[in-house]
Amino acid sequence: EIVMTQSPATLSVSPGERATLSCRASQSVNNNLAWYQQKPGQAPRLLIYDASTRATGIPARFSGSGSATEFTLTISSLQSEDFAVYYCQQYNNWPPITFGQGTRLEIK
C-alpha cells in the first residue's frame, strides 16, 4: 500500500499571501496524483489531477507541481473562500487508492 503523508497538518496564512502544501508518497506514483479541497459540511472538490492539471472551473491561483514522490499544491494569493482542508490522493498503484491525512489551511 502506498502511504501518502501531507505536511504540515495545519497551516496558518494571512489572506493575500501564498500557501504551500506538501504531499509525499512512500514510493513513486509518477504523476498520478490529485488534490482536493473540502469545506465543512461539504463533499470534497477536485482541484488538480495528474499532479499539475487544474480541474474545470478551478481558479488559476491554484497550481500543482511535482512528480514521483514529492508534490506541492500552491495557492498564490489566498482568498477567504480558500480556507479549508486539502487532501492529496494517489491513483497510480491501487487498490487501495490512498489519501493523505489532510492539511488544514486556516486564517492567520
Partner 1 sequence: EVQLLESGGDLVQPGGSLRLSCVASGFSFSSYAMSWVRQAPGKGLEWVSGISAGGTTYYADSVKGRFTISRDNSRNTLNLQMNGLRAEDTAVYHCAKGGVTIFGVIKNNWFDPWGQGTLVTVSS
Tell me which of 8, 77, 94, 108 binds partner 1, using CB under 8 A: 94
Q: Is 22 in the site for partner 1 (CB under 8 A)?
A: no
**Residue 63 binds to partner 1 (criterion: CB under 8 A):** no
Smallest distance from partner 1 to CB 15, Å: 25
C-alpha to C-alpha distance for 32 and 88, rounded to whole angstroms: 10
- Using the rule CB under 8 A, is 62 a contact of partner 1? no
Q: Please report the DSSP string for 40-88 in residue order.
A: TTS--EEEEETTTEEPTT--TTEEEEEETTEEEEEESS--GGG-SEEEE
Q: If we measure between CA atoms, which residue out of 73, 90, 88, 102 comes closest to residue 8? A: 102
Mark 74-93 with x for binding to partner 1 (rule: CB under 8 A) and - for no binding: -------------x-x-x--
Which three cell numbers, joined as nine digits, stand for 78?
489566498
Q: By CB under 8 A, name the binding residues for partner 1.
A: 34, 36, 42-46, 49-50, 55, 87, 89, 91, 94-102
